Structure 1
Amino acid sequence: MFDLVALLIILVTCFSVAGLGGATTRPALEGWYRNLRKPSWNPPNWAFPVAWSLLFLLMAVAAWLVWRERGHPLAWWGLGLFALQLAGNALWSFLFFGKRSPGAALVEVVPFLGVIVATAFLFHAVTPLAGWLLAPYIAWVSFATVLNFEIWRLNRG
């Protein structure tokens, strides 16, 4: 029972961060973001919430799997980095959409991606499935990094 409560808490935490990002993103979509120059391979707006919902679910399950192995010497390090990358996720949304600054978001996304990769490595060391569950997140944020760069490049003035 305690494991299910922990899973629920982790899910609520992850989706709260998602909600924060969404609250920052939504006001910018209709005007500012729509008017930005974007590369031809920019996904349609509807794809982002679908992808992020799946990614946050996978992240939560990965963190829960590591939490279940909290006796492992690397588990708390991994969970600490996990919390840090959640903060990095919210910060990126705030910088890109809230501050409307692709340049600041680009500076932030590189270390943010590094923290995600480090989290995946630590998660994998604790329980391999948890590390692999973060692979789609790493792929998506890598793609988002390149997209962020292109949007910054196309709109710098």
Structure 2
Amino acid sequence: MELLQVNGRINKKKLALNILIPVIGGSITGWIANKNAQEKYKKLKQPSFSPPGAVFPIVWTTLYTTMGIAKYRVDQKKKDSPAAVPLYDLQLGLNFLWSFLFFRWGLRGTALVEITLMLACITLTAYEFQQVDKTAGALMVPYVGWVAFALGLNYAVWKLNK
């Protein structure tokens, strides 16, 4: 429970909001972007390190939850960090956009460029969060790692299916 406490308190309403925005947003985006796209995706050549499809919703729900907790922690701190929240919002928007580029529109090369920008934004967000709250910064590290892996996967799929 200490993870959720900031300055000895938990603001349940703000915590829920910070978690639900990425979780619900990611779920809706995934549902819309992947609608009728999975059959095409299954026909593409996959790299040997591509995880089974069932892994993705589990990983993303976990990551969206931890990034929501990280943002909550930053929001609750009294320190000023003018770059932290706009960077968070930008990376989340890029996250949602990537699904459309890669799955819905089949623009895998464009998605590769976009996920590279997204990874840079996530890394900067993690850094800015770290400046405000060390726990918030640490909560972003698995997200950085997963998106780095996703970038490699995006590259491999794009290369194999040019």
TM-score exceeds 0.5: yes
Residues in 1 aligned to 2:71 and 2:99: alpha-carbon distance in whole angstroms? 21
Residues in 2 aligned to 1:56 and 1:36: alpha-carbon distance in whole angstroms? 27
- The residue that corresponds to 1:25 in the other structure is 34
- The residue that corresponds to 1:143 in the other structure is 149
Residues in 1 aligned to 2:126 and 2:19: alpha-carbon distance in whole angstroms? 18
- The residue that corresponds to 1:73 in the other structure is 80
TM-superposition CA deviations, 1:90-130 (whole Å, max 9, x none): 01001001111111100101111000000000000000010
Which shifted more, 142-151 or 18-27?
A: 18-27
Residues in 1 aligned to 2:142 and 2:75: alpha-carbon distance in whole angstroms? 20
Q: Does 1:63 find its partner at 2:71?
A: yes
Q: Does 1:34 find its partner at 2:42?
A: yes
Q: Does 1:114 find its partner at 2:120?
A: yes
Match 1:85 to one of 66, 72, 91: 91
Residues in 1 aligned to 2:134 and 2:12: alpha-carbon distance in whole angstroms? 21
CA contact (8 A) 2:35 2:104 kept: no
TM-score normalised by L of structure 2: 0.90
For residue 83 of structure 1, give the secondary structure of its aligned residue in structure 2. Answer: helix
Q: CA deviation at 1:41?
A: 1.0
For residue 53 of structure 2, give the secondary structure of its aligned residue in structure 1. Answer: coil
Q: Does 1:16 find its partner at 2:24?
A: yes
Large movers: runs of 4+ above 6 Å: none
Cα RMSD, aligned residues only: 1.4
Residues in 1 aligned to 2:28 and 2:95: alpha-carbon distance in whole angstroms? 10
CA contact (8 A) 1:14 1:56 kept: yes
CA contact (8 A) 1:20 1:90 kept: no
CA contact (8 A) 1:17 1:86 kept: no
Q: CA deviation at 1:8?
A: 1.3
Unpaired runs of 5+ residues, structure 2, are 1-8
Residues in 1 aligned to 2:136 and 2:50: alpha-carbon distance in whole angstroms? 29
For residue 37 of structure 1, give the secondary structure of its aligned residue in structure 2. Answer: coil
Match 1:54 to one of 43, 62, 69: 62
Q: CA deviation at 1:6?
A: 0.8
Q: CA deviation at 1:26?
A: 4.1
Percent identity for Structure 1 against Structure 2: 35
Unpaired runs of 5+ residues, structure 1, are none
**Equivalent residues, number:** 153
For residue 48 of structure 2, give the secondary structure of its aligned residue in structure 1. Answer: coil
Q: Does 1:124 find its partner at 2:133?
A: no
TM-score normalised by L of structure 1: 0.93
